[in-house]
C-alpha cells in the first residue's frame, strides 16, 4: 500500500493548499426518520460535498453517513470519506487524483480504502447539462470480517457523472463508480432528483445501489437505499 500512501499524501497536500486561496462552495443533505410507539426507529442520512477552483486546479471533498436503529438494534451503519483533485488540460479534458474510504458494519469488509488517478473528459459541459467520464488505476486496501484479514490489490477505476436541469428548479443526476481488482469489484450508482424550494433549500429523492462481487456465503452482494432529503446549498 506504499504507492497508495504516496498518492494520498500528495492529494491531501493539494486539498490543503486549495483551502488557503479559494472560497469553498457546496451542499449538504439531511434525511431522517424518528418513530415512537410499539416500535422505536431512528434513521439518519447525512451527506456533505464541497468544492473550489483555482486556475487550472479544482478540488472536491465529501462525507456521508447512514445509520438505522430499531428497538435498540442497529440495522445500518455506514460512513464514507472521499476527495478528488483535478488539473485541467483544456476545456474538456483533465487529470485527476482521488481518495475514498468507507466503513460499513453490515458488509464482509470492515473497510475499503482506495487511492487512484487517471484521465477525465467532459462530453457535455453546459449550464443545463453536464456529462463526464473518468478512467484510471490505483490501489485498494481492505479488511475482512470476521478474521480481520487485510489485503492490498491494484484496481482499475471508472466513473460516469451526469446531471441535467429539467427546469430552472428541477435537477436530475446519475453518478456511477466502479473499482475493480483481483479480490473484489465494487460498483455504486446513485440516481436522484432535486427540486428547489428557494435559492438555498431543495427537496431531494435519491436511490443508491451498491454491489460487491466477492462476499461470504449468506451475505447479499447488493444493497439498495432510497432516501428523501432536505438539501442545503452554500
**18 secondary structure, DSSP code:** H
Residue 147 has a pLDDT of 78
> Which residue's C-alpha cell is 410499539?
38
Where residue 181 falls (left for φ over 0; alpha for ψ -120 to 50; beta otherwise) is beta
pLDDT bracket for residue 4 (50, 70, 90): very low
* Pair 106, 140: CB distance under 8 Å: no
Tell me: the pLDDT tens digits for 69-124?
Answer: 888 887 778 999 999 999 999 999 999 999 999 998 877 888 999 999 999 999 99
pLDDT bracket for residue 7 (50, 70, 90): very low
- β-strand partners of 42: 34, 69
Supply the Cα-derived Rg of the chain in whole angstroms: 19
* Pair 103, 115: CB distance under 8 Å: no
Angstrom distance (rounded) from CA 171 to CA 118: 28
Cell numbers at residue 134, please?
Answer: 473518468
Tell me: the pLDDT tens digits for 184-212?
Answer: 999 999 999 999 999 999 999 999 999 99
Cell numbers at residue 160, please?
Answer: 460516469
Q: What is the mean pLDDT of the chain?
A: 88
Amino acid at each position: 500500500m506504499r504507492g497508495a500512501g504516496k498518492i494520498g499524501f500528495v492529494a491531501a497536500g493539494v486539498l490543503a493548499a486549495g483551502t488557503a486561496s479559494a472560497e469553498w462552495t457546496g451542499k449538504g443533505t439531511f434525511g431522517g426518520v424518528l418513530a415512537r410507539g410499539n416500535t422505536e426507529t431512528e434513521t439518519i442520512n447525512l451527506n456533505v460535498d464541497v468544492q473550489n477552483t483555482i486556475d487550472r486546479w479544482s478540488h472536491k471533498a465529501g462525507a456521508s453517513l447512514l445509520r438505522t436503529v430499531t428497538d435498540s438494534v442497529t440495522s445500518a451503519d455506514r460512513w464514507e470519506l472521499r476527495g478528488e483533485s483535478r488539473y485541467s488540460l483544456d476545456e474538456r479534458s483533465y487529470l485527476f487524483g482521488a481518495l475514498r474510504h468507507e466503513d460499513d458494519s453490515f458488509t464482509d469488509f470492515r473497510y475499503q480504502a482506495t487511492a487512484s488517478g487517471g484521465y477525465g473528459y467532459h462530453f457535455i459541459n453546459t449550464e443545463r447539462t453536464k456529462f463526464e467520464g473518468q478512467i484510471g488505476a490505483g490501489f485498494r486496501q481492505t479488511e475482512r470480517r470476521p478474521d480481520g484479514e487485510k489485503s492490498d490489490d491494484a484496481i482499475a477505476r471508472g466513473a460516469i457523472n451526469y446531471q441535467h436541469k429539467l427546469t430552472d428548479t428541477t435537477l436530475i443526476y446519475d453518478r456511477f463508480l466502479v473499482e475493480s481488482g483481483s479480490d473484489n469489484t465494487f460498483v455504486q450508482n446513485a440516481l436522484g432528483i432535486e427540486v428547489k424550494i428557494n435559492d438555498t433549500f431543495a427537496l431531494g429523492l435519491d436511490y443508491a445501489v451498491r454491489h460487491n462481487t466477492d462476499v461470504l456465503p449468506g451475505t447479499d452482494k447488493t444493497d439498495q437505499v432510497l432516501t428523501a432529503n432536505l438539501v442545503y446549498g452554500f
